[in-house]
Amino acid sequence: MRVTPDKLAEFRAEMPLAEFTTIHLGGSAQYFIVCRTVDEIISAVSFFQTTGFPVFILGGGSNVVFPDHGVRGLVLKVELKGIRLDEQGDCTVLVANAGESWDDLVKLSVEKNLAGIECLSGIPGSAGATPIQNVGAYGQEVKDTIISVKALDRKSLDIIEFSAAECRFGYRRSRFKLDDRNRFVILEISYRLIRSGEPALKYAELRDYMESKKLHQGISVGDKLGAVREAVLELRRKKSMVIDPSDPNSRSVGSFFVNPVLADGKYGDFLERLKRYGLGPAPSYKSEEGIKVPAAWLVENAGFRKGQRRGGVGISTNHALALVNYSGTTKELLTLASEIEDAVGDKFGIKLEREAVIIE
Ligand code: NAP
């Protein structure tokens, strides 16, 4: 098909992107469209296939950093709305379209007394992003509740339904983030929630907080889910991990780096280095995949501190893992990120992985 100016005119040209992201960075999209139906997505994706221009899929914008010079091709914002609750025995299946706000889903589940995602309160972004990196926090991960994910294959334009096993979930990853990166547009996710289930209180920080405030004593199961949600929101607010226009520290993508999981040999090498530098023990947690070490600890012990500034960007005053845009540029942000990566690599022999999606 020849690319006609008429067809391109259906797309908004030179759309500034910064306001579509929680970190408020980046230039303009050459072309931009908001899609509210699956047909609109298919039409835009198939047309852009004929142009040869790249297509970038945007959800809630909470985990993406656009370049200062903008994005060539199309930025397609998925705003598929719609929620369904299907009763199945003791469970309720929450079926959500990808453009639903994630935190609205968590709020709804807690209000309906459905357990399974209460610890994932206050995470910005859309439901569609959750299977991509197997979003998790405070002892829960979406892989624990996801039954299936429907996605559009951008090449064949087929809609495929993946079971949870087929999503190949791991710590902050899935097939959609690794082997099949940029291949699919997530359309719909089904989460299995337990009716009147007990909240998950596996995470020490959350449990301690609930205990210190006596939040879970003498209340019904339904109220317990609400209490956990409030506690998680409070913990996240303290770390500026809830988007709040009045909190300049929350102009971020949340955690910029993934907490590294070290295999045995790597962990041994890390312990050797701690000895060599005369550093006390680092916090560490056993997981199925190895030993997890908090990236924030590595950042602070590699010579950076909370509140440190570099021009218009810096490290949040409330969490060393959040890089914040106060009034800066993507170039400044990525320079700071590289500086941190180099320092952590040199000192601890650990290569930090960026959790944020950085668009070139
Ligand atoms: P944190 O509580 O300082 O914890 C840092 C690291 O230590 C994480 O890897 C965490 O594992 C691990 N950890 C802490 N307590 C643990 C325990 N009792 N058992 C097992 N592992 C433990 O982390 P934070 O940066 O303030 O974040 C709070 C929570 O939000 C964490 O669960 C973090 O993973 C999550 N988070 C998730 C995303 C995301 O999914 N994109 C982004 C930002 C933060 P886990 O990661 O397994 O919890």
Please give the share of the chain, as a percent, with pLDDT higher than 90.
91
Q: Is residue 264 very low, low, confident or very high in pLDDT (cuts 50, 70, 90)?
A: confident
Q: How far apart are CA 20 and CA 348, in angstroms?
A: 36
Instruction: Return the residue matching tokens 């060539």.
Output: 72
- List the residue whose alpha carbon is closest to atom 33 of ligand 1: 137
- List the residue whose alpha carbon is closest to atom 35 of ligand 1: 137
258 CA distance to ligand 1 middle (Å): 9
Ligand 1 touching residue 77 (CB < 6 A) = no
pLDDT, tens digit (0-9, with 9 covering 90-100), for 22-74: 999 999 999 999 999 999 999 999 999 999 999 999 999 999 999 999 999 99
Q: Are 132 and 122 in contact (CB under 8 A)?
A: no
Q: What is the pLDDT of residue 9?
A: 86
Question: Does the structure show a pLDDT above 80 at 314?
Answer: yes
Q: Which of 63, 203, 236, 286 to mutate to test the pocket of ligand 1 (most atoms within 8 A of CB)?
A: 203
Write out the two tokens for 342.
Answer: 């180099």
Q: What is the pLDDT of residue 7?
A: 82
Instruction: Return the residue matching tokens 């050797």.
Output: 272
CA distances from 201 to 54, 134, 211, 212 (A): 43, 19, 11, 14
1 CA distance to ligand 1 middle (Å): 49
pLDDT, tens digit (0-9, with 9 covering 90-100), for 98-149: 999 999 999 999 999 999 999 999 999 999 999 999 999 999 999 999 999 9
138 CA distance to ligand 1 middle (Å): 6
pLDDT, tens digit (0-9, with 9 covering 90-100), for 243-258: 999 999 999 999 999 9
Question: Does the structure show a pLDDT above 60 at 297?
Answer: yes
Q: Are 237 and 170 in contact (CB under 8 A)?
A: no
Mean pLDDT of 269-297: 95
Q: What is the pLDDT of residue 280?
A: 84
Residue 252, C-beta contacts closer than 8 angstroms, at least 6 positions apart: 22, 23, 240, 316, 322, 323, 324, 325
Ligand 1 touching residue 75 (CB < 6 A) = no
Q: Which of 103, 141, 205, 357 to mutate to test the pocket of ligand 1 (most atoms within 8 A of CB)?
A: 205
Ligand 1 touching residue 121 (CB < 6 A) = no
- List the residue whose alpha carbon is closest to atom 29 of ligand 1: 137
pLDDT, tens digit (0-9, with 9 covering 90-100), for 180-198: 999 999 999 999 999 999 9
H helices of the chain, where? Answer: 5-8, 38-51, 102-111, 204-212, 221-238, 264-276, 295-301, 330-348
Ligand 1 touching residue 251 (CB < 6 A) = no
Q: Are 154 and 185 in contact (CB under 8 A)?
A: yes
Q: What is the pLDDT of residue 45?
A: 97
What does 263-312 look like in DSSP terms, one character per residue? -HHHHHHHHHHHHHTT--PPP-EEETTEEE--HHHHHHHTT--TT-EETT
Q: Domains in the chain and their CATH numbers?
A: 5-78 (3.30.43.10), 83-238 (3.30.465.10), 248-358 (3.90.78.10)
Question: Does the structure show a pLDDT above 80 at 344?
Answer: yes
Amino acid at 176: F
77 CA distance to ligand 1 middle (Å): 29
Q: Is residue 3 very low, low, confident or very high in pLDDT (cuts 50, 70, 90)?
A: low
What does 95-123 look like in DSSP terms, one character per residue? EEETTSBHHHHHHHHHHTTEESSGGGTT-
252 CA distance to ligand 1 middle (Å): 17
Q: Which helix (H) or strand (E) holds 74?
A: strand 71-78
* Residue 171 alpha carbon, nearest atom of ligand 1: 47
- List the residue whose alpha carbon is closest to atom 34 of ligand 1: 137
Ligand 1 touching residue 289 (CB < 6 A) = no
Ligand 1 touching residue 190 (CB < 6 A) = no
Q: Is residue 222 very low, low, confident or very high in pLDDT (cuts 50, 70, 90)?
A: low
Mean pLDDT value across the chain: 95
Q: What is the pLDDT of residue 123?
A: 97
Q: Is residue 226 very low, low, confident or very high in pLDDT (cuts 50, 70, 90)?
A: very high
Q: Is residue 1 very low, low, confident or very high in pLDDT (cuts 50, 70, 90)?
A: very low
Q: What is the pLDDT of residue 164?
A: 98
Residue 82, C-beta contacts closer than 8 angstroms, at least 6 positions apart: 96, 97, 100
Q: Which residues are catalytic?
A: 172, 255, 355
